Structure 1
């Protein structure tokens, strides 16, 4: 699979203390799993959760789904041991909460070695330092922690997420500038399909690669929103064909559906087709 086109349409949080839940996600059509040792695990269960998670990952069965482990912050009593454990787990990446500087990423990298790192972006300082965080050579992904960000901002919920736009935008710019995957925050009302659809579409249109989810009922909507639809795929193919024909004819100008097609449109079209192919490969 083309790793740059690897889909992250649906990224589901699963408590690492819940063996049954970790078994269930093997059957879900999700692109990635965040096995959570942090917020989803009670303090008195955190140590045991490491062993439960290690057993589930060793058993395997997660197919092509990306396996990401969210540890506790390194400043907590569990963080360092979480990081040491992750270095030996059968997973694809480690997710560090409340990242506010590249130094925090480096501190984790010194423990986890060549394990790819993802960063939770959930504080005002994290937003302001997003560029330096995304530039760290071990960073491969960013996850928006919109619930924590709303708490820190003391903002009110709005369907248009206007209070979030500055923070979301800063992280998006940083991720795109450094070629880092970035997934949107969770939608809390897991029975509100209309609201989830609207927020997924907003995130997709902004440039997010996918959506973090808290419930399996949200998977289908996220997968549909963040995948190229038939019309986009058709347009992409026609744009590429028209541009290649124009180049071959030496005209230098291609037109599709009454609109000029330039090289930049062809680059986007090829990215759309690569993503569609990667999704087809993942779901085969």
Structure 2
């Protein structure tokens, strides 16, 4: 298995020096932002920076560009700029509420991976329809700041159902597990770690970051523990031994009998660990 991406670093496109640092960072994926992190007066400059900085660098880096929503005056120019970039540069699509938005973007950006963000109650209700709108949809995720506002909630507990809904939709659409939305307090690394562990328990894999200082905490929270790696290795070793011996029923040393789901989970754990 290919090692999955765990860290996704947002960087505003109107700060070219930060984009360059992000591209050189340890983030698995760099998210160059034309949307919320860029003031309206800077949109054109940000787009120009995008074209200049990613025309060459994108081939060496996993990169996505968050474009502005179709309801804004910057959307068409964003899409045109992205269309001129190398095909591996993905489109991160904000505030998606319907499959029609994805179909229109897929037509404008043929062959390019699309990464819809669900940021409203209506989007959550249509999560599976959005996830399956086009073969170009490569992932889905939540934009939790806007979703909190739409739902009128202040704490993470209120997001649990929406988070699970998107995780289930991604799985049903045969997409990778979603990455969590960014944790807004860049100094609260303990709170970030706690939130990541809760998200991991729900089924998220990885998280977006708004500052490089968050990357190590995110990675540590989503990587399997040493005990999980040992157990996963034992699972696969037992399967190999049983297959060689022609044995049908397989049990671990603690007496747990193995099934197909446990074997697949063990492979996923070792893939995350890079083992």
Please give the range of the TM-score, normalised by the shorter of the 2 chains: over 0.9
Aligned partner (choices 106, 128, 131) of residue 131 of structure 1? 128
TM normalised by structure 1 equals: 0.90
Q: 1:87 to 1:164 in 2, by over 3 A?
A: same
CA contact (8 A) 2:141 2:166 kept: no
Matches within 5 A, 1:78-227: 78-90=74-86, 91-136=88-133, 137-157=135-155, 161-181=156-176, 182-227=178-223
- Report whether the alignment pairs 1:247 with 2:237: no
Aligned residue for 1:68, secondary structure, equals strand
CA contact (8 A) 1:243 1:262 kept: no
CA contact (8 A) 2:94 2:118 kept: yes
- Report whether the alignment pairs 1:35 with 2:23: no
CA contact (8 A) 1:243 1:253 kept: no
Q: 1:275 to 1:269 in 2, by over 3 A?
A: same
Deviations 1:148-205 (A, max 9, x none): 1000000122xxx221011111110010111223111111111111100011111112
Return the offset for 1:10.
0.8
Return the offset for 1:55.
0.9
CA contact (8 A) 2:117 2:143 kept: yes
Bigger share in strand = 1
Matches within 5 A, 1:58-97: 58-60=55-57, 63=60, 65-90=61-86, 91-97=88-94
Return the offset for 1:6.
4.3
CA contact (8 A) 2:58 2:89 kept: no
Q: Distance in 2 between the 1:267 and 1:126 partners?
A: 31
Aligned residue for 2:73, secondary structure, equals coil
Q: Distance in 2 between the 1:62 and 1:86 partners?
A: 14
Q: Distance in 1 between the 2:157 and 2:59 partners?
A: 37
Greater than 4 Å deviation, 4+ residue runs? none
Q: Distance in 1 between the 2:83 and 2:129 partners?
A: 24
The aligned residue for residue 5 of structure 2 is 8
- Listed as ranges, the gaps of 5+ residues in structure 1 are none
Q: Distance in 2 between the 1:61 and 1:180 partners?
A: 23
Return the offset for 1:115.
0.7
- Report whether the alignment pairs 1:24 with 2:21: yes
Q: Distance in 2 between the 1:214 and 1:170 partners?
A: 24
Mean CA deviation greater in 143-152 or 177-186: 177-186
Q: 1:61 to 1:102 in 2, by over 3 A?
A: closer
CA RMSD of aligned residues (A): 1.7
Return the offset for 1:276.
2.8
Q: Distance in 2 between the 1:192 and 1:26 partners?
A: 24
Deviations 1:242-263 (A, max 9, x none): 1232333343222224122222
